[in-house]
Chains A and B, each alone.
Chain A
Amino acid sequence: MQLIESEEERAAFEQIYLAYRQLMFFVARRMLPCDADAEDAVQQAFVSILENLKKESRRCCPETKAFCVLVTENKAIDLLRAKKRLSQMDLEAAERGIGTPPPGDGGLADALARLPARYRQALLLRFYSGYSTRELERILGMNRGSVQKLLWRAKNALREELEKEGNTD
């Protein structure tokens, strides 16, 4: 388990916390029905960020910001799924996540934006944030086999999205 190992690192974490907590709350609140749930998601996300944020990323930058958003979205989905009774609205929120606008390349990036939140998150964490399969195990709370399966399914879903749009080579 990664820990805050020095005063400097702790200060860096506090800076990230102060810089992004409003944004993280906004992300969580878009998916969760009340402020208290959204705060729960933000708290859980910070614990995960504390444990998993790469040392070289412990500063405020777009990559760290994206990581904070993705982890918060992931925790919000976890909270929705942990409910004993899921409403249709919960299911849709868990499937859609925060929703990401297509970048407009008419290809792979747009197809990626259309994926269900779980697949989109996994691919962004892997290919944008650069976390390894092993690191994803801890971030997503899954074992290695499940992470590998998730990534494979996400790629498969991406291929299907591309096929729908007739964008395959």
Chain B
Amino acid sequence: MKKEDNFPFSDRELEQAAEQLGRAMLDALPEADEPPHVFSESFEKKMDALLRKERTRQAGLRWVRGVAAVLAVALILSGTWLLTDTEARADFRRWYRNAIGGDTVYRYYGAEHGEALPALEPGYLPEDYRYQKSLAETDYSMRLIYQSDEDGTFLFIVYGFMDEATEGTVTSDFATYGETVPVAGTVGDFYPGSDGGSSVLVWFDEEAGIQFSIQANRDLETIVKVAEGLRPAS
């Protein structure tokens, strides 16, 4: 049997040992806790919400996936709940960024919002972009889509609540992390597009608990200008 990296055991031997230990681990655990733990109302509510939201999210994400396939969208903001109790969150950061397999994943911790997502519109857009459509991806996030008359490329503005730990992923297929840049009085992460593709800007309004992203085949300066021009829709 092949033994790699100077280890005195092969992967096959390790598999057998792991299987033995896995079984021993399960055998040592109780079949049922007596008396069973009565989960808190908050836990039950959040688990119900998780399943309900996953169901609701399907339609939106399918659509988004369709868009992604056709338009090569790099940023997918979706509502995966991390579901933790707000009080227990006190010791943790509000959001964090993780590099996973070249992708960048944002996860957020925050109280459940009690308000409707504000309707926003760009106060500035490059001249050649025309409004296409707005898509409410559940009541937690909104996607505004614009297309250029000149080169047919799209500009996406996506924003949504950071509550209950929404997850956002910037995939490395299209853009990789570049730099931190000032945006609208805060800082954002800029991901230059790969191979001349669209770039992505991600930033947060911590006070309002809203995450924003813009994806467009334009330079940093233009994208930041669009970001800073966002305003309540008229």
Residues in A lying within 8 Å of B, measured CB to CB: 1, 3-5, 10, 13-14, 17, 21-23, 25-27, 29, 35-37, 39-40, 42-44, 46-47, 50-51, 62, 65-66, 69, 82-84, 98, 100-103, 105, 107-109, 111-113, 120, 123-124, 126-129, 134, 137-138, 141-144, 152, 155-156, 158-159, 162, 168-169
Contact = CB atoms under 8 A, between A and B. Distances in A.
B25 interface: yes
Nearest to B80: A47
Nearest to A156: B7
A160 to B, nearest CB: 11
Interface string B59-78: 00100000000000000101
A43 B14 contact: no
15 contacts: A1-B167, A22-B33, A25-B37, A35-B37, A35-B40, A40-B85, A42-B43, A43-B50, A47-B83, A50-B54, A82-B92, A84-B91, A108-B17, A128-B22, A143-B101
Given A25-B33, A138-B100, A143-B101, A109 B20 contact: yes
Contacts, number: 172
The 10 closest A-B pairs by CB, nearest first: A128-B18, A108-B17, A127-B18, A109-B20, A43-B83, A109-B17, A103-B24, A128-B22, A103-B20, A168-B8
Q: Which of B18, B46, B98, B99 has the most CB of A within 10 A?
A: B18
Nearest to B100: A137
Q: Which of A14, A43, A47, A129 has the most CB of B within 10 A?
A: A43
Given A23-B33, A159-B7, A47 B20 contact: no
Contacts of B61: 3
Contact of B84 (A23, A40, A83, A103): A40
Which range holds the interface residue count of chain B? 35 or more
A86 B158 CA distance: 38
Interface of B: 5, 7-9, 11, 13-26, 28-30, 32-33, 36-37, 39-40, 42-43, 46-47, 50-51, 54-55, 57-58, 61, 76, 78, 80-85, 87-88, 91-92, 98-102, 167, 169
A26 B37 CA distance: 8
Contacts of B13: 108
A47 B88 CA distance: 17
Contacts of B24: 100-103, 109, 113
Contact of A66 (B5, B7, B25): B25
Contacts of B88: 36-37, 40
B105 to A, nearest CB: 8
A141 B92 contact: no
B150 to A, nearest CB: 33
Nearest to A125: B18
A141 B167 CA distance: 13
A43 B47 contact: yes
Contact of A39 (B8, B85, B92): B85
Given A43-B47, A155-B5, 13 more contacts: A1-B169, A3-B57, A3-B58, A22-B36, A35-B40, A40-B88, A47-B50, A69-B29, A100-B28, A102-B24, A112-B21, A141-B98, A143-B99
B134 to A, nearest CB: 23
B26 A62 contact: yes
Given A43-B82, A155-B5, A4 B23 contact: no
A101 B82 contact: no
Nearest to B28: A101
Contacts of A98: 25
A98 B82 CA distance: 22
B83 to A, nearest CB: 4
B33 A108 contact: no
